[in-house]
Amino acid sequence: MHSADAQMLVLTVLADGPRHGYAINTAIEELTGRKLGPGSLYGALTRLEARKLVRPAGAGGDAADRHRTMQITDAGRAALRAELEQMARVSQAGLRALGTAPA
Amino acid sequence: MRPSALMAALYPPAVRQRWGAEISRQVAESGVRSWPDALLGAARLWLHPGDWPETTSGQTRQVLTVTLFAVTAATALLVRAAGQPVLTGSLRHPATSLWLAPILLGAALGAPAPPLRWRALRRLATVAARTLAGPAIAVAAMIVTAHAGVLHHPAGHARIGLLAGYWAVLSFTALRLCTLTARYARTAHLPTTRRLRASAMLIGAGLSLAAGQSLIFLSRTAPGTRSLTLALALSLLAAATITAAHDLRT
């Protein structure tokens, strides 16, 4: 899967609440019907953390668990919103062109 | 080592420390079909050191210092294995040794500075002696065998055995030198990110030159598997080193 697609899926799932890696992938499977490969998932989490769009959750569980449970940041929510709005515009334009949506 | 643990071990140390257990678990659960994605994920992360989550201060610089040394050592082994006259390392052949200049300059720029304290230097010398004792004995044994004249013109199995032994000693020495660099980097003054970036760029430039020289050699002679492999390996190493250097944030 393309790196940017994997990052958006992870952000979408984390927008619903903090999760650890395995739970993120389970939620992605529920959303799309297939899981991300380990390289795509943890690569996306690493890149999103480097861009400060996600961060380790600060509470709950033991220290190692807290470190691996990730949550979306405000910058992450803003980036996800911008990306989804752009996708919605593209989607509407495509549907209009196909004659399946009101102009 | 189980394949799942091996896959996790291929990731950069910082990523491995954070996600290694989960990567290993997911690879074990998904089986062979997850291997290409896991391998590709590891390769992508090695090319983007700016994304690594530092679990200790200076970890990225420490890992990059060792990686650049490993790239230099791998290049030396590759060039030695190919034995092409177009890639030399001698002042008597400046035109064919040009590729080596940026690599040596890059390696010097990326080398950690020794701690200027007597106690630390003594400790470093002890670590070096312990780490390099094995390779020193192996190299000495190889030289003694070569000069003993026991095998003047080896043939068949003896020749294969000697060649295997020669390459095993060279690879072992390169590996132990990388281990020494890793141990040394823990206590030495690490280069700044800017210096490491310049170092990686220079090493990448040297590798590109070597790949170019190798390709010119290929175009002038009948292409063989060995020279093709060398040109391809040098090009890949050059591209990877320059990509990683570009990604380093200063």
Residues of B in contact with A25 (CB under 8 A): 26
How far apart CA B34 and CA A72 sit, in angstroms, is 26
Please list every residue in chain B whose beta carbon sits closer than 8 Å to the beta carbon of residue A36. 37
* B23 interaction partners in chain A (CB closer than 8 Å): 38, 42
Q: Distance between CA atoms of A40 and B37, rounded to whole angstroms?
A: 7
* 8 A C-beta contact, residue B200 and residue B94: no
User: Which residue, among A5, A22, A42, would best test binding to B if mutated, counting the most B CBs under 10 Å from its CB?
Assistant: A42
Q: What is the pLDDT of residue B151?
A: 65
pLDDT of residue A59: 58
Mean predicted lDDT score pLDDT of chain B: 89
Average pLDDT over residues B69-96: 87
pLDDT value for B54? 82
Task: Give mean pLDDT, residues A60-79.
Answer: 79
Residue B52 and residue A21: Cβ atoms within 8 Å? no
Measured CA to CA, the distance from residue B28 to residue A29 in angstroms comes to: 18
Q: Model confidence over B89-141: pLDDT tens digits?
A: 888 888 888 899 999 999 999 999 887 888 888 888 999 999 999 999 999 99
Residue A32 CA to residue A91 CA, distance in Å, equals 17
pLDDT of A67 reads 59
SS3 of B35, please?
A: helix
With beta carbons less than 8 A apart as the criterion, state whether B234 and B103 touch. no
- According to the 3-state scheme, what is the secondary structure of chain A? CCHHHHHHHHHHHHCCCCEEHHHHHHHHHHHHCCCCCHHHHHHHHHHHHHCCCEEECCCCCCHHHHHHEEEECHHHHHHHHHHHHHHHHHHHHHHHHCCCCCC
Give the residue-averaged pLDDT of B166-186: 93
With a CB cutoff of 8 Å and minimum separation 6, the contacts of A20 are A65, A68, A69, A70, B22
Q: What's the pLDDT score for residue A103?
A: 54
- Judge whether A49 and A55 are in contact, CB under 8 Å: yes
Q: What domains does chain A contain, in order, with CATH numbers?
A: 3-97 (1.10.10.10)
CA of A91 to nearest chain B CA: how many angstroms apart?
29
Q: What is the pLDDT of residues B5-49, one digit of tens each?
A: 999 999 999 999 989 999 999 999 988 999 999 999 999 999 999
With cut-offs at 50, 70 and 90, classify the pLDDT of residue B50.
very high
Q: Residue A102: is its pLDDT beyond 70? A: no
Comparing CB atoms, the residue among A25, A39, A50 nearest residue B40 is A39
Work out the average pLDDT over A46-64. 81
pLDDT of residue A61: 55
Average model confidence (pLDDT) across chain A: 88
Q: Indicate whether this complex's ipTM tops 0.85.
A: no
Q: Which pLDDT does position B229 carry in this prediction?
A: 87
